[in-house]
Structure 1
Amino acid sequence: MASRTSRHGPAPKAPGHGTRTTPKRHRDARRRRLPMRFLLPMFILLAMMAMLMLRGYVHSEILADHRIQPEAATGKVPEKILDGGPVIDTRGGRTTSLGIPDHRLVLTFDDGPDPTWTPKVLDVLKAHHAHAVFFVTGTMASRYPDLVERMVREGHEVGLHTFNHPDLSYQSKSRIDWELSQSQLALEGAAGIRTSLFRPPYSSFADAMDNRSWPVTKYIGTRGYITVVNNTDSEDWQKPGVAEIVRRATPKGGKGAIVLMHDSGGDRHQTVQALDSFIPGLQQRGYDFENLTEALDAPSAHTPVTGLDLWKGRAWIFLVQAAEKTTDVLVVGIAVIGVLVFTRFGLMLVLSATHARKVRRAGFRWGRTPITEPVSVLVPAYNEAKCIENTVHSLMESEHPIEILVVDDGSSDGTARIVEDLDLPNVRVVRQLNAGKPAALNRGLANASHDIIVMMDGDTVFEPATVRELVQPFADPRVGAVAGNAKVGNRDSLIGAWQHIEYVMGFNLDRRMYDLLRCMPTIPGAVGAFRRTALERV
């Protein structure tokens, strides 16, 4: 039942019912035990936060840096590097440039692995008995370790393409070391190997090396890596068409080449289709599609990892996979909850509107005859000296016959005396030692004279029609309790306005819906009515 009430004004309220002092030693003991009650929820919360941060980390949402700066001068780059091949070795203080022998072709794929396109690329390579080099990012290798393991198992080489794909020319040495170590950690966990091959993001031909990228290349060499650029670019990322990708990827005059392609970063169906014609076409012209070390007749770039390094890598992959699955579950859970919340909100609006039309139509009655017999109103009060007079006076204006029982729950501010001094008819004061609001209500119930009991708070005021409207549903013998509609009286402040919205959404509309569904979960303490027989049963 949506009867109308309003909260009293902004007078400050003393501590609530049942407030009792606790000996200091008991409070201290409770303080020491309190954290144990929250230990498991806090651990779960921290674990969830860690999983979300880890997911953001491997999805390049944390620490990612994709800046690309204009090319710098080339005065510091040795001529033999600018005029040399696509393989640059600066290990051990060397400055060596290597090319690929004629009729040997090294296919390289950047930015993967991708769960959609990398398997298709691997299928084409396997069908044509071709090998390639995959320059993987640490983020993608961490997320799709099974694809990295397949690359190695099928005889391909894997190189590093940093972890987050930043422009290393404008990064510190510590950031470069971090990019390398994190990528190796992902590779160790995914395939149980380390690699000595590295390709900087946004790199191009050797003659594009400039004064910004050359120091990075030299530093990469001191960390034990060979830098691999390319000398043939398919430009497949532009999606120029299958025939154009094949034309751009084909070296001229039977020369050897390192061809740049991509197996990630977008729709790569043209790349896959181009490979299926490009590989057999060049094989017929005498080309071998080999790993980089195979083409250079050099030892493998892969080094097996064992012991602690292997377990660290596996632990990393395990945590990343756990974070992925956890956040996937969270996304599904949030989606389900969102659907349920909006469904409930829509149902609430429809049913509350239906309820309002039902009870407001002309001639509507809850039963055959209206309720006219007197009812008892219980007002439990604890230190309500500033509010109780207004509360009692509002009840005295009731349009329905009532008796008023103010149960003073051990107030120390003279609440009971104020009511007694009013000397109003049908108003009784029942005193008890402070025992809490439930005990006060039970005391009031024991002293009530009538079969219908209305309960309200000591800081609430009723409108004249509130009691009359509140008890009318008892004309239906199936009704055991009625929920009223509490409203905020002091809505002139921001907090009051928001509380008013909360009351309307959480109490008024909700309870209209519950009334139609016949599943009222709670009766508000500020304004509720009960059939005495129902209370006595519980």
Structure 2
Amino acid sequence: MPSRTRRRTDHKARTDRKARPDHAARPDRPSRKARTDRRRFPLRYALSFLLLLATLAMLILHGYVHNEILADFRVRPEAATDQVPRKILDGGPVIDTRGGRTDSLRVPKHRLVLTFDDGPDPTWTPKVLDILAKHHAHATFFVTGTMTSRYPELVKRMVDEGHEVGLHTFNHPDLSYHSRSRADWELSQGQLALAGAAGIRSSLFRPPYSSFASAMDDRSWPVTKYIGSRGYLTVLNDRDSEDWRKPGVDAIVRGATPAGGKGAVVLMHDSGGDRGETVAALDRYLPELQGKGYRFQTLTEALDAPSADTPVTGAALWKGRAWIALIKAADGATDVLVAGLAVVGVLVIGRFGLMLLLSATHARRTRRRGFRWGPEPVTRPVSVLVPAYNEAKCIESTVRSLTESDHPVEIIVIDDGSTDGTARIVEGLGLPGVRVVRQLNAGKPAALNRGLANASHDLIVMMDGDTVFEPSTVRELVQPFADHRVGAVAGNAKVGNKDTLIGAWQHIEYVMGFNLDRRMYDVLRCMPTIPGAVGAFRRSALERVGGMSDDTLAEDTDVTMALHRDGWRVVYAEKARAWTEAPESVQQLWSQRYRWSYGTMQAIWKHRRAVVERGPSGRFGRIGLPLVSLFMVLAPLLAPLIDIFLVYGLVFGPTGRTIGSWFAILAIQAVCAAYAFFLDRERLTPLISLPLQQILYRQLMYVVLLQSWITALTGGRLRWQKLRRKGGVGVPQPDAVAPAGGRAAR
């Protein structure tokens, strides 16, 4: 039996208090607080938009500096050499085209300039630097802007240890196939990264995919001349270690060793893959060549020229530092988002796994032959409460559907200060067993409490004024009360107006997201919500928890949690179907879900003490509240990360893996949705729109939930909002409901 430790509340006094006129709640006379909330609403909306925009900006910046956009990794076929001067083709690896010159330079004998491309790399660059320091050698590092932006501390270490740094573009494209504006952009962005990382700018440049001076052609020569006009020396090489091929330590040493004591610019790599062979070869190469009288110097040291790296000051320095700070922020934000994606992945897969497993358990339990809730079926009369505010278009269908019930019912319509003649319509029907109770507008909880005070029976069914019951709905809804432990029953709410796209999306949500969830929560004994459209309560259970409360905007969730804490069982009756009119516009849907989301948060916060309590309250607090928080608040808030990273992966890569992952998640959802439709005996046709629902509908729910969070955190207060109804929902004909096999009857 449920615990009797709670003090019984004077329900009649509470109901009378709820029914008093509350002019601040009247829709036609909003309070000063309500008017203030309306003025604050655009601010909260703007905050939601700005947060989303900032998130996207951080992701774009992260992808941009991780070298997965604008990069050109193709080496093009060589072109003709007619336009390249012979002295360049036959000259040294350093080409000077500054100020209109056409000169080439060679490194003097017994001097070696080790150059490392594509870094810095967090794994291999420190090892290369350690080897150089060990053997007291200097080198020149041609860094990309993307890697410099990501690992600025390594570039600073290069400079601090006496090495020289040159530009290797920002995104590593082949500039021979790009415009001058692209070349300028690559140079300026690379210099920006250098300024932020080490406070320097460099006048050295090495084109990606370059090799020897003799390989210069009519495509690369114009780029070299233009780069020189911008004040840069172009540095090629005359010894290629080919370490990128990973040919072995011996081959790398042979390829890097010049003959006859000649000087050379040697090409190696400190990034772009596993450089273990390069590091091992370097540790052998340096002492071996030093023993032969070679000196390892930076390029300008070897040429006896001033350093190519000059300090940056003023605005340029601060711009560079701001750039590095932004990259760090973008990396941090992306790490957080990736962690969030992992969390939502676990939650989504975990929830779907639980739903499939536990809903199957629920179906087997309730559908087995001879299943009954108690020793005898429930046949005693039921009071049906219909709170109504301006439901003139719907109320007749609602009331008439109740009068056709195959279970004895008392119908009480509580008119909550309607201005459209709702009460007169009901009274004009002259239907037996139907009563109208009028009150000044005080809100849905007060209307339900007023109806409860006027009800004649112990079993109470509550429904919305825009909902239609089937003849068997009330009977199926109250059967679980044969079990004396059951305090409330959730019915099977269905979308009646599902012939539009937005209606079909809500239909999928109701069947899959709500009803499949309710099966799961039933088995776990922590049902979070009795739907306002179709729910039943034991009167004594309601009175023990004080009736319907207006402490939150989700009075149905609030009272359900209170019943759990009082020790009552809350179950799901799948055959108690009710057809409700779902919002038909984005604005109305937004208003409804905003209220639901915010109200759920309020209810969770209100009942938070259950986490530390004992008995039934503690059980719900440590099982039900975490599950509700994870699956109904956190998971929907993080779910759009799946779509955000889909776009990220399509733009920045890896495209194939990204698309495969997204479709895998969609396939899991489709399986769950199909199973939910099978259990509910629904046609599978609406599932055609499931991919579009996941792309568009989920984003709307995300922004709604985000706005609810902002409202809660900023101390805002959300008012009840009346949805406009069309009154077109009725009980479907038999051929619209699929039989047990899961396919629609013809």
TM-score (norm 2): 0.66
For residue 82 of structure 2, what is the amino acid of its counterpart? G
How many Å separate the matches in 1 of 2:390 and 2:491? 24
CA contact (8 A) 2:70 2:173 kept: no
Equivalent of residue 125 in structure 1, options 129, 132, 135: 132
Higher normalized helix content (fraction of residues): 2
Pick closer, same or farther for the CA change 1:129–1:173 going to 2, 3 Å. same
Pick closer, same or farther for the CA change 1:430–1:368 going to 2, 3 Å. same
**Is 1:160 equivalent to 2:167 in the alignment?**
yes
Structure 1: 5+ residue stretches without partners:
1-17
Q: CA deviation at 1:55?
A: 0.9
**Is 1:270 equivalent to 2:277 in the alignment?**
yes
In the alignment, what sits opposite 1:330?
Answer: 337
Q: CA deviation at 1:383?
A: 4.5
Same amino acid, percent of matched pairs: 78
How many Å separate the matches in 2 of 1:411 and 1:42? 36
Secondary structure of the structure 2 residue equivalent to 1:342? helix
Q: CA deviation at 1:198?
A: 0.8
Secondary structure of the structure 1 residue equivalent to 2:480? helix
**Is 1:200 equivalent to 2:207 in the alignment?**
yes
Pick closer, same or farther for the CA change 1:421–1:42 going to 2, 3 Å. closer
For residue 502 of structure 1, what is the amino acid of its counterpart? E
Note the alpha carbon deviations across 1:142-188, whole angstroms, 9 max, x for none.
10011111111222111100111111123232222221121111111
Secondary structure of the structure 1 residue equivalent to 2:95? strand
In the alignment, what sits opposite 1:486?
Answer: 493
Q: CA deviation at 1:470?
A: 1.4
Equivalent of residue 88 in structure 1, options 88, 95, 118: 95
**Is 1:375 equivalent to 2:382 in the alignment?**
yes
How many Å separate the matches in 1 of 2:534 and 2:41? 34
How many Å separate the matches in 2 of 1:276 and 1:36? 62
Pick closer, same or farther for the CA change 1:66–1:31 going to 2, 3 Å. farther
Deviates more, 1:409-418 or 1:92-101: 409-418
How many Å separate the matches in 2 of 1:334 and 1:284? 55
How many Å separate the matches in 2 of 1:525 and 1:28? 28
Secondary structure of the structure 1 residue equivalent to 2:486? coil
In the alignment, what sits opposite 2:234?
Answer: 227
Equivalent of residue 105 in structure 1, options 104, 112, 116: 112
Equivalent of residue 436 in structure 2, options 421, 429, 432: 429
Secondary structure of the structure 2 residue equivalent to 1:164? coil
Note the alpha carbon deviations across 1:272-293, whole angstroms, 9 max, x for none.
2222222222222222222111
For residue 269 of structure 2, what is the amino acid of its counterpart? H
In the alignment, what sits opposite 1:254?
Answer: 261
Q: CA deviation at 1:374?
A: 1.1
For residue 204 of structure 1, what is the amino acid of its counterpart? S
For residue 73 of structure 1, what is the amino acid of its counterpart? A
In the alignment, what sits opposite 2:646?
Answer: none
How many Å separate the matches in 2 of 1:168 and 1:49? 29
In the alignment, what sits opposite 2:84?
Answer: 77
How many Å separate the matches in 2 of 1:354 and 1:30? 46
Secondary structure of the structure 1 residue equivalent to 2:192? helix
Q: CA deviation at 1:473?
A: 2.5
Equivalent of residue 179 in structure 1, options 174, 186, 194: 186
**Is 1:401 equivalent to 2:403 in the alignment?**
no
Q: CA deviation at 1:421?
A: 4.2
Q: Which of 1 and 2 has higher RCO (CA within 8 Å, sep 6+)?
A: 1
How many Å separate the matches in 1 of 2:365 and 2:51? 47
In the alignment, what sits opposite 1:14?
Answer: none
Q: CA deviation at 1:364?
A: 3.0
**Is 1:499 equivalent to 2:506 in the alignment?**
yes
Q: CA deviation at 1:125?
A: 1.9
Over the aligned positions, Cα root-mean-square deviation in angstroms equals: 2.6
How many Å separate the matches in 1 of 2:223 and 2:418? 78
How many Å separate the matches in 2 of 1:211 and 1:159? 24
Deviates more, 1:43-52 or 1:506-515: 43-52
**Is 1:519 equivalent to 2:526 in the alignment?**
yes
How many Å separate the matches in 1 of 2:37 and 2:505? 34
How many Å separate the matches in 2 of 1:145 and 1:289? 24
Secondary structure of the structure 1 residue equivalent to 2:536? strand
Q: CA deviation at 1:29?
A: 7.0
Pick closer, same or farther for the CA change 1:502–1:45 going to 2, 3 Å. closer
How many Å separate the matches in 2 of 1:395 and 1:35? 42
How many Å separate the matches in 1 of 2:28 and 2:461? 30
Number of equivalences: 521
For residue 426 of structure 1, what is the amino acid of its counterpart? G
CA contact (8 A) 2:166 2:204 kept: yes
Deviates more, 1:258-267 or 1:399-408: 399-408
Note the alpha carbon deviations across 1:319-368, whole angstroms, 9 max, x for none.
11111111012101210121122112211221121122222223333345
In the alignment, what sits opposite 1:474?
Answer: 481
Secondary structure of the structure 2 residue equivalent to 1:106? strand
For residue 388 of structure 1, what is the amino acid of its counterpart? I
In the alignment, what sits opposite 2:643?
Answer: none
Secondary structure of the structure 2 residue equivalent to 1:344? helix
Q: CA deviation at 1:206?
A: 0.8
* 1:8-23 pair list within 5 angstroms: 20-21=27-28
Deviates more, 1:526-535 or 1:379-388: 379-388
How many Å separate the matches in 1 of 2:429 and 2:303? 106
How many Å separate the matches in 1 of 2:485 and 2:311? 78
How many Å separate the matches in 1 of 2:501 and 2:335? 38
In the alignment, what sits opposite 2:148?
Answer: 141
